[in-house]
Amino acid sequence: MLAIIIFIVILSILVMLHELGHFIMAKRAGIGVEEFGFGLPPRIWGKKIKGTTYSINWLPFGGFVRLVGEDPTDEKREAKNSFYVKSLAIRTKVVIAGVIANFILAIVIFYIVLFAIGFKVSLPLFVDHKFKFVNQSRQVLVAEVSEESVAQKAGIKAGDSIIKIEDTQISSIDQLQKIVRSSEGKELAIILENPVNNQTKTIVAAPVYNKELKAPALGINLGELAVLRYETFGQKLFAGFVHSYNILDYSIRVFGQLIGFAIKERNITPVSEGVSGPVGIAQITSQAVSLGPVSVLQLAGLLSLNLAFINILPIPALDGGRFFFIIVEALIRRRLNPAIEKWTHAVGFAFLLGLILLVTYNDILKLLR
């Protein structure tokens, strides 16, 4: 229940800040704001102040801003304070203000997180990737621990990273496997690190002979972590900006490779497994809550960054779709047919709603599995 509440709070803050960006920029540009709502209708309470209705609504998921003339077929679109009649520059500022607000929030959050954990952060390494403007190294991640294994009995947990065995620094899976398989069953002093808070602990475990591997083993499945260290004054000064860029750049590359693999194999499963909707994000929030406040903040920063990126894509009904129509108008130097623009956004909204339902269904199936 706590995780669900925290998920709703995070989502509401991110969306409200996004809408607040639109609201502030519209007010500064002299555009009328008909309603600024917290949550989604139906309405619980509303009060009109200087032409704007401020409302609280029943569904506690984010909020919305309704501008005068935002609908290109609205009869008020020719009004002096209408969004529709404003210049290309002003409309562009209003449209992208929400995206900028989410980018700024992500940057601020990552500054706080990086400061809290000593400017050292670890990320699961799904593809080989070079992060920019930061010192980078690798660690071996414990992805899974077998039941009743030596590792489980010794206290090794999924999510730990193995940074040292005896006096040897571990930087690759091959290196770790060679040490374990040549141990001849002797006890090994293993130093583990929690990638979330960077705390370390030392355990002792004696690898046991595995018939399938025909060698000693600890009973763990392994992955890799990219360890990013912001060490110099310059790196720390721009850490929030750089980390936001690195996370976004890496996410785009991973998702791009998933799509490429899906097309090559003619199998949509890799993409569906790598995408999460509200149910999946709520489950991730539960995991973040169990790891502590820093992990929750990291998740909030990541969600804010993703919200900004998705919204700027040229998809109808999103900010990027509205920005695309502004660009087209600038290129052809005339307004497009209002009805075409309206129906394009309507179709885009229906598509997005269907996609959310499909992803949510897939999240529920994954949860049941």
Structure token pair of residue 218: 């600890």
Strands 135-145 and 220-229: antiparallel
* Alpha carbons 274 and 126: distance in angstroms, whole number: 11
Q: What is the CATH number of the domain that holds 172?
A: 2.30.42.10
* Beta strand 135-145 pairing with 188-193: unpaired
Task: Say yes or no to pLDDT of 2 above 70.
Answer: yes
* In a domain? residue 290: yes
Domains: count for the chain: 2
Structure tokens at 356: 């959310």
The pTM score is: 0.89
Q: Is the pLDDT confidence value at 272 over 70? A: no
Express each pLDDT in 121-161 by its tens digit.
999 898 889 999 999 999 999 999 999 899 999 999 988 99
Same domain, 105 and 142: no
Residue 277 in tokens: 């909707």
Residue 185 pLDDT > 80: no
Q: Give the residue ranges of DSSP H helices in the chain.
A: 2-28, 88-116, 150-154, 173-181, 233-237, 239-265, 269-274, 278-291, 293-312, 319-332, 338-368
pLDDT in tens, 62-88: 889 999 999 888 888 889 999 999 999
CA distance 247 to 257: 15
Confidence of residue 273 (pLDDT cuts 50, 70, 90): low
Structural domain contains residue 191: yes
The helix (H) or strand (E) run that includes residue 337 is none
Q: What is the mean pLDDT of residues 15-44?
A: 95
Full residue range of the structural domain in which residue 202 is found:
135-229
- Is the residue at 173 inside a domain? yes
Residue 40 in domain:
yes
- Tell me the per-residue pLDDT of 309-336, one tens digit each, with 9 for 90 and over: 999 999 999 999 999 999 999 999 998 8
Verify that 109 and 161 share a domain, yes or no.
no
Residue 366 has pLDDT above 80, yes or no: no
| 262 within domain boundaries | no
Residue linked to tokens 């200087």: 50
| Residue 297 domain-assigned (yes or no) | yes
Look up tokens 């779709």; give the residue: 321
